[in-house]
A and B are shown apart, each in its own frame.
Chain A
Amino acid sequence: MKSNRYIRQTTLKSFGQEAQKKLADARVLIVGLGGLGLPVAQYLNAMGVGTLGLVDGDVVELHNLQRQVLYTEENCGTSKLEAAIRFLEKQNSETNLKGHQLFLDRNNALNIIENYDVIVDATDNFPARYLINDACVILGKPFIYGALHAFEGQLSVFNYREGPTYRCLFPNMPKSGEIANCDQHGVLGVLPGIIGNLQALEAVKVITGIGQVLSGKLLLFDGLSQRTQQINFTLKTENRQIKSLAEDYNSASCDARMKSQEIELFLKKSYDPDSDQLIDVRSSEEFKEDHLPNAINIPLNVLDQNLDVLHPAKNVYLLCASGLRSQKAWELLKDHVAPERLIVIQGGMNTLRMATKP
């Protein structure tokens, strides 16, 4: 380590070489390289965290750029993880960067998380947030939570030194479609930058021991009024008793009758317009950008008003960007189309674009 690289923070009396050494020895996992995860990654990398694990299976899309400011227009259609790693390597060549090109799920979460000391929840959906909570409780890891809604943000540190967990605040996972995410509801571009930076600050405090960690407190930030407030809450001991992950975190897909097919397999089979129907449930804007031949666009939010488009005897394939909205569409349609003829295409257009663009 070049001796003066971190001098602006090591000269801080309550930080010093000692805290810098703790950063260098720390292993931090950032789950999600979107609006929250990128500022966390950039600051922790700049400040000298020794090992940074990065998890994301997604590709950069044009509508990400208003808030995911590490990415450029050139990155569109390519892996978020690869773009982030290219930047972070140049930013700090001393960091040990470990990329995980995947989405966290119940099969891989424990194996990945166990290799890190601190987890940063920078995801954008409830199933991932509850999965991270449960995995961190099982493995005894603190995790730094940040989440957004329109002009507001939430921040807390859960499971820190036997402290309260995410489920102590919100015991039950919202059902699919109950509360919209950024993609559906919108978020002001600068908001994730603010909350992500606060997450980075909490990560530094957890690692080095400086200051007071935001454990047992939920910080609420309202960007429109610049008001912040902190809500105190305590541990409910039953939430520490989690011994294994839930059977399924994706509440949209808990119906065992759901049939699905990988997009690669779908493309390999010959599409027969006499027996197959392909419904693309993305927004009309996304559909205009690119779509598969034969696809019929019915955006998810108007699907229930267009049931007459669905053919009563054909196989109905449901397609979206990642597979998530297709699952929601499946739930909406399962009572209108025989489940054995209703098929969710996994991976969606994102996988396709990643495969075709180097």
Chain B
Amino acid sequence: MTVLLFGVTRDIVGAEALEMPVDKVGSIRTVGDLRSYLQDTFPSLKNLSSLLVAVNNSYAEDDIKLDNFDEIALIPPVSGG
């Protein structure tokens, strides 16, 4: 399970993409689970007021189910202009 990172999440994690550890994938069943796992692993993510999760190029609410082959992206708002 790979999560693509954008904006400030890339800076927080320090990478463009993140591979979920094999032993965690089983417990990450929904977008909400993924969010919690990422926030526990990278506590700075908790400070973001809005953080969009996209699954297979669509906006995904926390109750959306995930499987190993989903393409996931973490998208925060960006403000520069």
Q: Which residues of A contact B (CB under 8 A)?
A: 32, 34-37, 122-126, 129, 146-150, 152-154, 169-175, 178-182, 185, 187, 192, 218, 220, 222, 225, 229-234
Contacts and interface: CB of A to CB of B under 8 A. Distances in A.
A45 to B, nearest CB: 19
8 closest cross-chain pairs (CB), A and B? A149-B78, A124-B81, A148-B80, A233-B59, A182-B80, A170-B50, A172-B49, A170-B77
B48 A182 contact: no
A64 to B, nearest CB: 11
Contacts of B49: 172-175, 178
B54 A129 contact: no
B59 A152 contact: no
Interface in B41-81: 47-50, 52, 54, 57-59, 73, 75-81
A35 B58 contact: no
B78 to A, nearest CB: 4
A125 B52 CA distance: 19
B37 interface: no
B50 A149 contact: no
A122 B58 contact: no
B70 to A, nearest CB: 14
Contacts of B52: 169-170, 231, 233
A232 B81 contact: no
Contacts of B57: 229-232
6 contacts: A124-B80, A149-B79, A174-B49, A192-B81, A229-B57, A232-B59
B77 A234 contact: no
> A153, A169, A170, A218: which has the most chain B beta carbons within 10 Å?
A170
Given A129-B79, A220-B73, 9 more contacts: A36-B81, A147-B81, A172-B50, A174-B48, A179-B7, A179-B78, A231-B57, A233-B59, A234-B59
Contacts of B75: 218, 220, 231
A178 B48 contact: yes
Interface of B: 6-8, 10-11, 16, 47-50, 52, 54, 57-59, 73, 75-81
A32 B76 contact: no
Nearest to B53: A231
A192 to B, nearest CB: 7
A154 B75 CA distance: 10
A124 B79 CA distance: 5
A218 B75 CA distance: 10
B73 A179 contact: no
B50 A148 contact: no
A152 B7 contact: yes
A234 B52 CA distance: 13
A147 B59 contact: no
B77 A126 contact: yes
B17 to A, nearest CB: 11
B54 A231 contact: yes
B81 A32 contact: yes
Contact of A179 (B58, B59, B79): B79
A37 B81 contact: yes
A320 to B, nearest CB: 17
A185 B6 contact: no
A192 B50 CA distance: 23
Contacts of A229: 57, 73
A180 B50 CA distance: 14
